[in-house]
Amino acid sequence: MLNIVTIFLLSTLWEYGLEAQISVLLGLGYSADFETSERLRFILTSSAFALLAMIIPGLLIGRLIRKMLAAEKNALRLADTDELTGVGNRRAFSARIAQLEAVGQPYFLTLLDINDFKSINDLNGHHQGDATLISLAGLLAEAAGPETHVFRIGGDEFAMTSGGGQPEEAVRTAATLRQRAAEIRTGPDTMLGLSVGVACSTCSGSSGVVRAADLAMYEAKRDKTLHLAHFSPDMEQRFLQREKLEHDVTEAIKSHTIVPFLQPIVSLQTGRITGFEILARWIPGPGKVIAPAVFIPVVEKLGLMDTLTVELLQAVVRITPGWPAGLHLSLNITPEQLLNPVLTDCLSGIMRQAALVQLELEVTEQNVMTISEEARRAIRALRDDGIGVVLDDFGTGYSNMSVLLGLGITRIKIDRSFISTVVSVSQQQKVVETLLALCQELKVTVTAEGIEDAITLEWLQKRRCDYGQGYLFSRPVPADRAAALLTTASVQACFTDKLISAP
């Protein structure tokens, strides 16, 4: 405003005094008869142009500032938003936790993790993995109340903060979310599964609410039934114990104290040992043996299964020179390992050094439905290299003979849960009898696991079961003692006069 007044006064002074003086000073012509209206028009025009010269840049600058503020606001929003799902990201999550802690009001933190997310990507492609994340984020956002915030804080991990209340209510809400999430499809025949951990800011103690919720979620992952846990103080101690176990298992693999034990596989028609199953045992010290159920899940979690598988096979192959020709070794692997060509090529290379011994890879039936066409090709490639594939623990899953034949599997192992009660439970007898008859018709070779007494052995022999394995013949022994089983009569002594010769 001051600038406009100044220009107006200067224009007036120019028209009514300065113009004449300067014109005379410069020797220019000047007419004092110039009309007053023209003078006034000049003054007004000059003032108007001066005003426009100020307003227009001001408008442009104001518009630019508004754009910059909007861009900054949008950038802040994007900085706090997960690009794929549209919910808050880890930055926003950290800010929200800090805000809630500053206020000091009780609140609940719920962490949700997708079960086997890697398998979703591996078996159905990353587009399916992205679609699963988007669907889950949409479900959580839809279920969120006015005081609930949703965040994606990791690749397949989400978090929800909600107002204080009773722990039972928070757990019920989490259980409902799990049930609704189970309706999200992750593949042609699979649905979404979540592991959920819940913690209250006032009940987390020294752990802190984020660590408390994380410990609860870890506990939920271990609970294969509910996949849901609410934090309790003892979880911290259990976590530290598991952490120590993970460290010890890692060191055990490095120091080769997880070693192969061998259990003989016996022909039920001849009484002779035809091969051995390779079983892992952890020997932490003299006279101490730790069963695989304790450490194998840890090995899998640490991603060391391939390393351990190779080391176990190499250790056994090194002692096979001098064994009779035609024996076979059985080794357990997972369907995911079948998809790893580096591993399967390595196993094939190891077996090429053991010309007299053949290898069979055992895949658990409960996992067989996850095998893709890629795995079928891997099975065929292994068969071309002289390595067979056996379906382990048959009867505990949902596969059928057509699936087996389609996979190129021509050998199964009947789970010990069927064999151990086959003599005493009539229903088990019918199942095993039907299975043996069907396998004989389809030329599928059968090994019965868990033979522990002579009565069970005789029952299986009469029904022409091909092979057997169990404590009746031998417990698993250290690999260097397996050769002794081949040269002694201890196994054949189990058969006595009840041996049925092969036709």
Q: What is the pLDDT of residues 435-454, one digit of tens each?
A: 899 888 888 899 999 999 99
pLDDT class of 400 with cuts at 50, 70, 90? low
Pairwise CA distance, residues 381 & 352, whole Å: 15
| φ, ψ of residue 111 in degrees (nearest 5) | -105, 135
Q: Which comes out higher in pLDDT, residue 256 or 393? A: 256
The residues spanned by each domain of the chain are 2-79, 90-232, 242-485
Residue 262, class by beta-carbon neighbours within 10 Å (0-12 exposed, 13-18 middle, 19+ buried)?
buried
In terms of residues, how long is the chain?
503
Beta-strand (E) ranges in 248-319? Answer: 258-267, 273-285, 288-290
Question: Would the pLDDT of 266 be above 90?
Answer: yes
Lowest mean pLDDT among 32-36, 210-214, 270-274, 423-427: 32-36
Range 496-503 contact pairs with CB under 8 angstroms and sequence separation of 24 or more: 498/454, 498/457, 498/458, 498/461, 499/269, 499/270, 499/271, 499/461, 500/268, 500/269, 500/461, 500/462, 501/269, 501/270, 502/267, 502/269, 502/270
Digit-coded pLDDT (tens) for 89-99: 999 999 999 99
Q: What number of CA atoms fall less than 13 Å from residue 76's CA on the CB side?
A: 6
Q: Answer whether 90-232 and 242-485 agree in fold.
A: no
Pairing mode, strands 258-267 and 477-478: antiparallel
pLDDT class of 61 with cuts at 50, 70, 90? confident
Pairwise CA distance, residues 153 & 89, whole Å: 6
Mean pLDDT value across residues 229-255: 91
On average, the pLDDT of the chain sits at 83
Separation of CA 423 from chain center? 41
Pure H helices in 104-226: 117-124, 126-143, 167-181, 209-222
pLDDT class of 502 with cuts at 50, 70, 90? very low
Pairwise CA distance, residues 81 & 77, whole Å: 6
At position 21, the amino acid (one-letter code) is Q
Q: Which comes out higher in pLDDT, residue 326 or 13? A: 326
Pure H helices in 14-125: 19-25, 36-79, 90-103, 117-124
Digit-coded pLDDT (tens) for 354-397: 878 999 999 875 555 555 577 678 888 888 888 988 888 776 55
- For residue 295, what are the contacts with CB-CB under 8 A and spacing of at least 6? 245, 249, 252, 258, 280, 282
Pairwise CA distance, residues 483 & 324, whole Å: 10
Pairing mode, strands 258-267 and 467-469: antiparallel
Predicted confidence at residue 284, as pLDDT, reads 92
- Return the CATH number of the domain spanning residue range 242-485: 3.20.20.450
- For residue 396, what are the contacts with CB-CB under 8 A and spacing of at least 6? 364, 365, 366, 415, 417
Mean pLDDT value across residues 195-209: 83
Pairwise CA distance, residues 418 & 428, whole Å: 6
Paired residues of 265 in beta bridges:
275
- The secondary structure element, H or E, covering residue 247 is helix 234-254
Q: What percent of the chain has pLDDT over 90?
A: 46
Pairwise CA distance, residues 359 & 494, whole Å: 26
Place of tokens 């058969």: 495
Digit-coded pLDDT (tens) for 124-154: 888 999 999 999 999 999 998 888 999 999 9
Residue whose C-alpha is closest to residue 259's, from 243, 234, 281, 238? 281
| CATH architecture of structural domain 90-232 | 2-Layer Sandwich (3.30)
Under DSSP, is residue 245 helix (H, G, I), strand (E, B) or coil? helix
Pairwise CA distance, residues 206 & 245, whole Å: 23
Pairwise CA distance, residues 192 & 194, whole Å: 7
Pairwise CA distance, residues 409 & 389, whole Å: 6
Q: What is the pTM of this model?
A: 0.68
Place of tokens 């591996």: 122
Confirm if 320 and 328 have CB atoms less than 8 A apart: no
